[in-house]
Structure 1
Amino acid sequence: MTAAPLDLASIRLAPKVLLHDHLDGGVRPRTVIELADEIGYEGLPSRDEAELGAWFREAADSGSLELYLETFAHTVAVMQTSAALRRVARECVEDLAADGVVYAEVRFAPEQHLDGGLSLDEVMEQTIGGFEDGMRAVQAESGREIVVRCLVTAMRHAARSREIAELMVRFRHQGACGFDIAGAEAGFPPSRHLDAFEFLQRENAHFTIHAGEAFGLPSIQEAVAYCGCDRLGHGVRIMDDIVVGADGLAELGLLANYVRDKRIPLELCPSSNVQTGAASSIAEHPFDTLARLRFRVTVNTDNRLMSHTSMSEEMLKLVEAFGYGWSDLERFTINAMKSAFYQFDKRLALIDDVIKPGYAVLVG
């Protein structure tokens, strides 16, 4: 048998694992418009599906994390009711499954969805319910299985992280797999939320931290050394602690060595990292350097609407930039599955029964 071509159609057939994807950053443009009509939201820059999708992409291409985050005002505004949350969560699962994703951890900030009168618990119930609706629909329509779990996020500029951490723990047996903090990094260090992280550690709960995207090594240092994160959300700026000589040999600083030695996963999001200015281009993205140095790199979408992307498209961009083959994509996928906030035996089962056989077919 010959190997499948490394094109978008073939990559879509490959089983994928997604660890860093924002629910409010992946809403279908048509859904944004319809939900806005339902609640009378007048703030959309366009009510044409194609134009609105293009606006999100163009507005996100700012080179600034702070400006990039402003695009979320519109998606969050239309996600304030039970029906809206449930619909967006269901469609998220359907869209990921159509792209070949077999396991995903989708994150969102419940505190941003209270304007319609819902409580934090109701927001969680509806969102997780939507994920469950989507998983059942995929199984019924295609016979395939996808596992989607919820990463509960607190906003780093707010003061509710301990409350949101407690919310995550309450729902951990109902589909919540871990905790995260997100939002602008500069001026809002991870250690500001130390109480939440210490609580989670006492509760034996997993957490990742957005760090090393718009802000450099101090953010990563705090996330790792002070807060004890399991994974780094982005972490692309770990390159600031690596010097690559003219001979191609790399010298790692203490922090970079520690992150690599401890196998702390990096939730890299190539297209988004370019949009926010963390990398100048896909070709200049440090993904390949980090992969060659055997950091635990993973491929992620971050925000599928704002970046007009999918897991398959992110993988294809890396193939085109760095010449990766099927074995490389399989390694990145296994890296992600190993790093998932999922039971060990279930991680192994997905690797052995789904991921490896799925790539074996494509390799030929």
Structure 2
Amino acid sequence: MSCGYLLQMDERPTLDDIRRAPKVLLHDHLDGGLRPATIVDLARENGYEGLPTTDPDSLGAWFAEMSNSGSLERYLETFSHTVGVMQTTEALTRVAYECAEDLAKDGVVYAEVRYAPELHTAEGLSLDQVVEAVLEGFAQGGRDFGIRVGALVTAMRHQARSMEIAELAVRYRDAGVVGFDIAGAEAGYPPTRHLDAFEYLQRENAHFTIHAGEGFGLPSIWQAIQWCGADRLGHGVRIIDDIEAGDPPVLGRLAAYVRDKRIPLEMCPTSNIQTGAAKSIAEHPIGLLRDLGFRVTVNTDNRLMSGTSLSEEFAKLVEAFGYGWDELQWFTVNAMKSAFVSFPERLELINGVIKPGFAQLKWRGARPVA
């Protein structure tokens, strides 16, 4: 009689299980992931006033409460405090280092973390000094905790410094900056306002993603792809507006293009609910988009504001859609395929870390059968 192993189909990955899985994060904001205690420390050290409370637990609860308004604009208002305490090289390096530590402890093996250098110059730092301070923190954290963190430098879409930031991305691309992004309120600030920056990046063979299809609809996505040439879409939730319900669902021209071109969608389920881009996890478009074969990735957006981690985002999807290890590995491989690092680096992590790591977790969840 032979004996084999089968995965128990009535058991799903638990949050503790998921924390052990090797994960990849593409959409995480540095100024949206500070530890509340660090905000309090930095405010005291740098003389920053205006925090609603100096008790770390109460402060963390305040951020979560303020972020659940259903409005992208109100959600973004909470960043005044995190950005306010990130105005010195020491603060930036500390926050970047702790970011790497927190992600590594959550099982993330590769991350791309974005921030807007122009928001950290209020106390006299130059753009270069800001970038160098953040890269130092990521490098130290990478060495200490065994995680690879690449930086995405972000331009604010309502400002006019995108060319400066694009040049910054190219200048530091061999030092740890892996790409460029634009962020901020979408309505009234289309990505085409920054067309010169995107054309420059394309001429320089540089990577970039664009926040699109979160606070605004299909025109935002269309412009990001067809006018600006985005490699990835930050969020992209509203692509669902171009899919007609049915059996099977019918894809419009734009949705079909996004799927067929394998344009990665950087989806952030909890954040999308907080900003009103989705109603609930169970109703989030990620379920349908995954079924239709879009290149969907799972992300945190702002861990502080959303009170979340990448493991928790996956656990919510397991609960809502009944996903198992195969689906979680699929999301993770999607993310690593879409990362802004070299092809050999992506292959090394997929074949040497991600697939073996998930295989080990599947094996632990198996039971012997006769």
Instruction: Answer whether TM exceeds 0.5 for this pair.
Output: yes
* Distance in structure 2 (CA, Å) of the matches to 1:183 and 1:190: 11
- The question of 1:53 aligning with 2:52 is answered no
Match of 1:250 in 2: 249
- The question of 1:102 aligning with 2:124 is answered no
- The correspondence of residues 23-102 of structure 1 with structure 2, limited to 5 A, is 23-102=30-109
Q: Name the SS for the 2:293 alignment partner.
A: coil
Match of 1:270 in 2: 269
* Distance in structure 1 (CA, Å) of the matches to 2:274 and 2:293: 25
Q: Name the SS for the 1:283 alignment partner.
A: coil
Q: Name the SS for the 2:52 alignment partner.
A: coil
* Distance in structure 1 (CA, Å) of the matches to 2:139 and 2:52: 32
- The question of 1:334 aligning with 2:333 is answered yes
Question: What is the alpha-carbon root mean square deviation over aligned residues?
Answer: 0.9
Cα deviation, residue 137, structure 1: 1.5
Q: Name the SS for the 1:305 alignment partner.
A: helix
Cα deviation, residue 169, structure 1: 0.4
Task: Please list the CA deviations of residues 278-300 of structure 1 after superposition, one character each: whole Å capped at 9, or x if unmatched.
Answer: 00111110000000000000000
Amino acid in the other structure paired with 2:273: V
TM-score by length of 1: 0.97
* Distance in structure 1 (CA, Å) of the matches to 2:352 and 2:230: 29
Amino acid in the other structure paired with 1:11: I
Cα deviation, residue 2, structure 1: 6.3
Q: Name the SS for the 2:224 alignment partner.
A: helix
Match of 2:133 in 1: 126
Task: Please list the CA deviations of residues 198-239 of structure 1 after superposition, one character each: whole Å capped at 9, or x if unmatched.
Answer: 000000000000000010000000000000000000000000
Amino acid in the other structure paired with 1:259: V
Task: Please list the CA deviations of residues 324-360 of structure 1 after superposition, one character each: whole Å capped at 9, or x if unmatched.
Answer: 0100000000000000001001100100000000000
Report if the CA contact (8 A) 1:94-1:134 is conserved.
yes
Match of 1:142 in 2: none
Report if the CA contact (8 A) 1:234-1:266 is conserved.
yes
Q: Name the SS for the 2:166 alignment partner.
A: helix
TM-score by length of 2: 0.95
Cα deviation, residue 39, structure 1: 1.2
- Equivalent of 2:22, from 15, 19, 22? 15
Q: Name the SS for the 1:20 alignment partner.
A: strand
Match of 1:141 in 2: none
Which structure 2 segments of 5+ residues have no match?
364-370
Moved more, 220-229 or 36-45: 36-45
- The correspondence of residues 1-364 of structure 1 with structure 2, limited to 5 A, is 3=7, 6-138=13-145, 145-245=146-246, 248-364=247-363
Report if the CA contact (8 A) 1:14-1:362 is conserved.
yes
Amino acid in the other structure paired with 1:300: N
Match of 2:366 in 1: none
Overall identity of the aligned pairs, in %: 69
**Count of residue correspondences:** 356
Q: Name the SS for the 1:209 alignment partner.
A: strand
Cα deviation, residue 191, structure 1: 0.4
Q: Which has the larger radius of gyration?
A: 2
Q: Name the SS for the 1:34 alignment partner.
A: helix
Report if the CA contact (8 A) 1:2-1:363 is conserved.
no
Cα deviation, residue 5, structure 1: 5.2
Q: Which 4+ stretches in 1 moved above 3 angstroms? A: 1-5
Task: Please list the CA deviations of residues 121-146 of structure 1 after superposition, one character each: whole Å capped at 9, or x if unmatched.
Answer: 000000000001111121xxxxxx21
Cα deviation, residue 16, structure 1: 0.3
